Amino acid sequence: MNGDRGVVDKTIEEALTGKGSHVAAKNALEGLQWKMAGAHHDGAPHTIFQLLNHMTFWQEWVLKWLDGEDPAVPKHAPGGWPGSASPVNAGEWRRTVTRFQKGVGELSRKAHEGDIFSKRGKWSRLGMLHTIASHNSYHLGQVVLMRQMLGAWPPPSGGITW
């Protein structure tokens, strides 16, 4: 079982960070200027800043759940999309990126704690971590597409181009 747990831990870690699947979560926002993060592109329903706040909202929700809390689920979809369309300045953008990245790190740490298969209600810890990893992966793909559409891709560290 110990070897199996190592495989599960590694799989969750890679899912949360994007390793082996797509550009690393930490790099998807790298080098993006704050004004561009709030820019609207024709046909796109959200700005990058809105996507980032949405991902952060749900990461923090999952972290509370993993800590044994029972966080409220918004009654309507807009409740999971907090904040404005664009940051007010570079400082707000940096703080929001840092908050998101901190959440990814906390999720990675939580993935190694406790019984990964234990359940609360219909969800296991593993299931909840899988869900948030998939959620972030989906929206990070939108971030990459938005950056490409805005001419702000790849990030300084490079991006998957094939």
Q: What domains are there in the chain, each with its CATH number?
A: 2-149 (1.20.120.450)
The identity of residue 144, as a single letter, is V
Residue of higher predicted confidence among 6 and 121: 121
User: Alpha-carbon distance 123 to 127, whole Å?
Assistant: 6
Instruction: Tell whether the torsion through CA atoms of 141, 143, 149 and 152 is positive or negative.
Output: negative
Nearest to 145 by CA among 137, 156, 134: 137
Tokens 């929001």 label which residue? Answer: 96
pLDDT value of position 22: 79
The values of phi and psi at residue 136, to 5°, are -65, -40
pLDDT value of position 3: 61
Q: Say yes or no to pLDDT of 162 above 60.
A: no
User: Alpha-carbon distance 156 to 141, whole Å?
Assistant: 17
Q: Where are the beta strands (DSSP E) in the chain?
A: 119-120, 123-124
pLDDT digits (tens, 9 = 90+) for 34-73: 999 999 998 899 999 999 999 999 999 999 999 999 999 9
Distances (CA, A) of 39 to 45, 118, 151: 11, 42, 12
Are 107 and 62 in contact by the 8 Å Cβ rule? The answer is: yes
Q: Determine what percent of the chain falls in helix, strand and coil, rounding each to the nearest 5.
A: 55, 0, 40
pLDDT digits (tens, 9 = 90+) for 82-137: 999 999 999 999 999 999 999 999 999 998 888 999 999 999 999 999 999 999 99
| pTM, 2 dp | 0.91
Distances (CA, A) of 111 to 26, 34, 73, 106: 18, 31, 22, 9
